[in-house]
Amino acid sequence: MTGWFADFMNHPATYLKSGWLQISVTNLLVILLMLAIFTLAIFLPFPKDKNRHHE
């Protein structure tokens, strides 16, 4: 692996620590991303099916 991505990956993870809680910035970002997708999945409108027959 070479280039900027290798430089980005090739060092120990940065950790955030507060008392007993310790989490890597990467894991925190993944959790925040999942919460963002969850929120969008609830609030974004779902496309209507134009072929759906209403009986």
Partner 1 sequence: MSQMWTAKLRNKWQKELPIEKLLPDDQPAYVSSWIYVFGVLTLATLAVIIFSGIILAFQGPAWYHISKTGKFVNSLHFWSVQLFFVFMVIHLWGKFWMAAWRGNRFATWATGAVAFIASIATAFTGYLVQTNFDSQWISFEAKDGFNSVGVGAWFNVTNLGQMLLLHVAFLPAILGVLTVVHVLMVRKRGVVPPIDSEPSPVNEASK
What is the binding site for partner 1 (CB under 8 A)? 30, 33-34, 37-38, 40-42, 44, 46, 48-49
**Cα–Cα dist 10/26, whole Å:** 14
> Please, where are the H alpha helices in 4-53?
4-9, 25-43
Q: Is 52 helix (H, G, I), strand (E, B) or coil?
A: coil
Nearest approach, Cβ of residue 34 and partner 1 (Å): 6
Nearest approach, Cβ of residue 39 and partner 1 (Å): 10
Nearest approach, Cβ of residue 31 and partner 1 (Å): 9
Local structure of residue 3 (DSSP, 8 states): S
Nearer to partner 1 (CB atom), residue 21 or residue 42:
42
